[in-house]
A = this chain, B = another copy of it.
């Protein structure tokens, strides 16, 4: 019996890639050999793993026959090519790239639909959905039936780390420029991000939506197994480094039984419910944690079938790296 599997991480030099390697170590994921991969610019970087600094190799030249499991991080042509090669080599895949249409690849959030993998033993490639879909699905799964959920309206305040290390750097630089009264030079955000909210987190299409907003709708419908669920979504960019905040309004078909909803959330895996005399924040509670935090759970002012809540989650760790690693654990169960 092997002691572990060969694991490839494509896109290892990135916030999510590095967090993923950290989580593999923390959870003592059964790694026989770890292959960190990237593009030509990443080659030579090192990422720490179990006391060693592993060098990043060129993904282009990697033989995916050496790995049994591949994590694909970040959307790029290189990652798409690796997806094809990894499939051809018979690798199992946890895809965090968001580049495969939702209907073509099962989205997995272990707390929500991890059980599906037992009934789909041939499932070799799965997607780890958007961090916002991970958080919403974990929070809504325990209450969707009780509420007879019809509609989800969500404002997701994304931190700059959703744009990777470059986003983090830019908010720090802009903030310091403003505080020191130096001229502001917006780069990746295109305008003032420090002390400002941006109406959208990405370019939008002719109908006014970003690709990730549309993806959220599909992923959430798939995760909750509610193909007809109405979802209204706005991703905005907030001047926050790490951790996302979601403002959520739910419409159900029945009057909300608040004590029952509280109890369901309290008992749910992956959820920390904060009672209404307090509330969680991304920076104060969620960042670095393995749960999502739910607060401000309350019935609508005008409609007893409406429920409002606030969710904070670590977009890099919980929403991406940890979810992917947990999904990877399910995917390689039969190897071990």
A residues lining the B interface (CB < 8 Å):
151, 153, 155, 157, 171-172, 175-176, 179, 191-192, 195-200, 204, 206-209, 213-214, 217, 229-234, 236, 238-241, 243, 245, 247, 249, 276, 279-284, 295-303, 306, 308, 310, 312
Contact of A232 among B240, B295, B300 (CB under 8 A): B300
Question: Could you name 14 residue pairs across A and B whose Cβ atoms are closer than 8 Å?
Answer: A155-B155, A157-B157, A191-B284, A192-B281, A195-B240, A196-B240, A196-B243, A196-B283, A198-B279, A200-B279, A204-B296, A232-B300, A232-B302, A238-B239
Known: A199-B280, A284-B192, A310-B199. A301 touches B157 (CB 8 A): no
B232 touches A303 (CB 8 A): yes
Chain B residues closer than 8 Å to A198, beta-carbon distance: 279, 281
Chain B residues closer than 8 Å to A207, beta-carbon distance: 298-299, 301
Chain B residues closer than 8 Å to A239, beta-carbon distance: 195, 238-240
Chain B residues closer than 8 Å to A176, beta-carbon distance: 179
Residue with the greatest number of chain B CB neighbours at <10 A, chosen from A191, A233, A234: A234
Chain B residues closer than 8 Å to A297, beta-carbon distance: 208
B208 touches A296 (CB 8 A): yes
B308 touches A234 (CB 8 A): yes
A245 touches B236 (CB 8 A): yes
A199 touches B231 (CB 8 A): no
Known: A197-B157, A217-B302, A281-B198. A234 touches B247 (CB 8 A): yes
Q: With A and B bound together, what is the CA distance between A124 and B243 in angstroms? A: 49
Residue with the greatest number of chain B CB neighbours at <10 A, chosen from A155, A176, A279, A303: A155
| Nearest CB in chain B: distance from A243 CB, A | 8
Chain B residues closer than 8 Å to A308, beta-carbon distance: 208, 232, 234
B301 touches A234 (CB 8 A): no
